[in-house]
Structure 1
Amino acid sequence: MNGKATDGELGAKQSRHRLERGRGALGPALALVHTGQAPTRSVLTSRLGVTRATAGAVAAELESLGLIRVDPRPAAASGTQGRPSHRLEIAEEGPVVLAGQVHADGYRAALVGLGGRIVATAPGCVTVGADPSYVLGTLVAEGVRLLAESGRRCAGVGLAVPSAVAEPGGEALNPLHLEWPAGAPVRRLFTEAVRQHGLGVPVFTANDINLAALAEHRHGAGREAGNLLCVATGHRGVGGALVVGGRLHLGSAGLALEVGHITVEPQGRPCHCGRYGCLDVETDPLAFLRAAGREPAPGRSPLAEATRLLAEEAGEPAVRAATEALTDRLGRGLAALVNILNPDRIILGGLHRSLLEAAGPRLRAAVARDSLWGLSGSVPVRACSLAHNSLVGAAELAWQPVLEDPLSVLVPA
């Protein structure tokens, strides 16, 4: 042998060098594909600010990890000119995360892939018992069953709960609409259930509206917003979240944005917090039903019944009056938040989404009228667009370590 490297060896060496230079770009590249911001390799190259060769090596490495698929047939995007580029897609049979959600009217487990796609869901339970350990253990068992049936690798586990979740311990401070004790160690109980089933993956727990906002920012109506405010009714009460620069604003202990306790009716109903007329009790589904002179139908949640009224009986005088009253109260609350937070977009979920669809002009006018800058300070108000956004948000928490460093999570030392 003459000691000279062959062309093949040189090519392999150059490819390794390109990958080493681009290794730090694996996470950012995966995040771009995950959020739909890099549909082709040429767009990935531009967004990462690397050479085509480095972007190609990065895409190939992500494909080898089973995370994405690179279409081997390059094609120009419709309506564009220039060199064709390989399309990048989420791998259909790649890893998943186990996501769970608990709310006042039930709980559910699901498997969620990259791109925010729900792969499989368990039927869900409609009764939440008073023992959080039992509920979370049942939820995890259902998720593990889904994993076994799918044969897919699990990269992490996330849980959404209807309560402020204190950091760093993960206690549910105010599960007001559950029978759970205040301060229940939800994260510890959830982690124990996950470990009992043999899953040695990262485990995360957070507030459901925070997670809904995160999911909407990455995959839904909040995309591209720099300062995104999300307000939603959930199944009971009202929650809010703020996403700034792609990250949730949680405050010093994870308790920021308790928007449900903004006063919108000083002489209004007593709230669970001890005050009166809070957004939480003046604009949630129960408030709407009471304003319309109705009660939830047997076996139906207040949210489902309120949404049905808006869809099927919006012309009834009592329903129309309730719609106007709640829209005005919600507008006052949103205006107060606009004055404090100065978001560049507001998205609404749950019953608030239905109010926006039923009385959008009235709601937008109320926000503009009551904000400090009036019409000149108006903010776009849109409806949340994802089904099960809190569940998808729980999955986003579990995917985050992979998005930050795919190799360290999926190829441990």
Structure 2
Amino acid sequence: MSGKADPRPAGDGTTSRARLDRGRGALGPALELVHTGRAPTRAVLTAELGVTRATAGAVAAELEALGLIRVDARPGAAAGSQGRPSHRLEVDEEGPVVLAAQVHADGFRAALVGLGGRIVATTPSCEAVDADPAKVLGAAVDAGADLLRRTGRRCVGAGLAVPSAVTAPEGLALNPLHLAWPVGAPVREIFAERVRAAGVDGPAFAANDVNAAALAEHRHGAGRGARDLLCVATGHRGVGGALVLDGRLHTGSSGLALEVGHLTVNPEGRPCHCGSRGCLDVEADPLALLTTAGREPGPEGSLLQQANELIREEYADPVVRTAAEALIDRLGLGLAGLVNILNPDRIILGGLHRTLLDTDPDRLRAVVADRSLWGRSGGVPILACSLDHGSLVGAAELAWQPVLDDPLAALSGR
């Protein structure tokens, strides 16, 4: 931090250096508090960091000098509040961005995402995925790089979300079956190479799409404030899960934790590509709904879009209603097993599961309560994911993490 960030006289050199050292250590935590909306004012920032008002002021000023946040010049107070007015803090909407890309079974999309999880610009969804991951990731990065050129924004990193378990730290996609990519495709390495080739600044990261969505929801959406958060979601094909434990994404020893798609929920059900039968992956995804309702997937729109529209527009049809109820029961059975094992304090559902929850919340909650150890008296809250592009925002969170960890090092090389 620069000495200019502290508005008070420096005093003796020892005191000044100590204050600056404390401020440097607080930059990352302070930025994360503003980034996640947990420090809307400098007074709250002071309390959350456990530092003096002067140190909090210096930290906020340094983050503003880095172009990451904005500090209101004049302190204000909310109507009806008590105490001294405080300067409001918010992310700088003109600040740097990261390039985010999401690949799914029916296409890919790229976006620029700023602090606060705000999507600055996005490309239309491409509805074709080549069997060569290098071609797909190259096209996604090129689309994002074009957004950067057109917007003129500074980029500090890139993140990728894919519908596959992704090993850490190697970044291998172990089961990209719905993409027809080779098992073990080095997606992080390919993505990083394409990012460098496109002249995009900053490090590159890759993760499973539901892990990314859970991270985004925990920081910016329906999972905010949860300590132990379970996220289960249908992508365009298959079912994925993710877990945030004590506020941090849990990925296991090598990035492969919580492959919930292969929980058996219908022992006599459809064959699964894992070799078993009746897994959530094939019993509770968009294709399962369409086939259970006797509908052939159409050529227009993704499978997820078709399944959502079927429920929203034709739920009065007894066949569609029965199919939706069958999926709700299978999903509830899987969630109950996960509740028994993980004991989360909140569950959030995305993709088609969000639509099923919105359609018949009482049925789903009843199945989970009846089949879980805690029963109706200790039922865990089940909520819908609130972010429209959670996996994209979560991919961006991967790239923002080095900046949140050490803003000075990430942005100024110090």
Please tell me the TM-score bracket, short chain as reference: over 0.9
Deviation at 1:138, TM superposition (A): 1.2
Q: Distance in 2 between matches of 1:283 and 1:315?
A: 20
Letter in 2 for 1:292: A
Q: Distance in 2 between matches of 1:357 and 1:244?
A: 26
Unaligned runs of 5+ in 2: 1-6
CA offsets, 1:244-286, max 9 Å, x none? 1221111111111000000000000000101000011011111
CA offsets, 1:86-141, max 9 Å, x none? 00011111010010110011111110000000001122311001111111111111
Q: Distance in 1 between matches of 2:12 and 2:59?
A: 14
Letter in 1 for 2:288: A
Q: Which residue of structure 1 aligns with residue 3 of structure 2? A: none
Q: Which residue of structure 2 aligns with residue 153 of structure 1? A: 154
2:239 is the counterpart of 1:249? no
CA offsets, 1:216-269, max 9 Å, x none? 000000001010000000110000000012211111111110000000000000
Q: Distance in 1 between matches of 2:96 and 2:25?
A: 21
Deviation at 1:198, TM superposition (A): 2.6
Q: Which residue of structure 1 aligns with residue 341 of structure 2? A: 340
Q: Distance in 1 between matches of 2:189 and 2:281?
A: 28
2:323 is the counterpart of 1:290? no
Q: Distance in 1 between matches of 2:16 and 2:42?
A: 17
**How do residues 5-404 of structure 1 correspond to structure 2 at under 5 angstroms?**
10=10, 18-404=19-405
Letter in 2 for 1:339: N
Unaligned runs of 5+ in 1: 1-6
Q: 1:264 to 1:292 in 2, by over 3 A?
A: same
CA RMSD of aligned residues (A): 1.6
Paired residues, number:
407
Q: Distance in 2 between matches of 1:366 and 1:319?
A: 19
Q: Which residue of structure 2 aligns with residue 4 of structure 1? A: none
Tell me, yes or no, if the aligned pair for 2:105 and 2:129 is still in contact at 8 Å: yes
Tell me, yes or no, if the aligned pair for 2:155 and 2:201 is still in contact at 8 Å: no
Tell me, yes or no, if the aligned pair for 1:99 and 1:111 is still in contact at 8 Å: yes
Q: 1:141 to 1:410 in 2, by over 3 A?
A: same
Identity in percent: 71
CA offsets, 1:329-354, max 9 Å, x none? 11100000001111000000001000
Which sits farther off after the overlay, 215-224 or 148-157?
A: 148-157
Residue 372 of structure 1 aligns to a residue whose secondary structure is coil
CA offsets, 1:165-189, max 9 Å, x none? 0122111111111121111111111
Letter in 1 for 2:298: A
Q: Distance in 1 between matches of 2:222 and 2:37?
A: 13
Q: Distance in 2 between matches of 1:303 and 1:355?
A: 12
Residue 207 of structure 2 aligns to a residue whose secondary structure is strand
Letter in 2 for 1:83: R
Which sits farther off after the overlay, 76-85 or 255-264?
A: 76-85
Q: Distance in 1 between matches of 2:375 and 2:9?
A: 67
Letter in 2 for 1:103: H
Deviation at 1:197, TM superposition (A): 1.9
Letter in 2 for 1:242: L
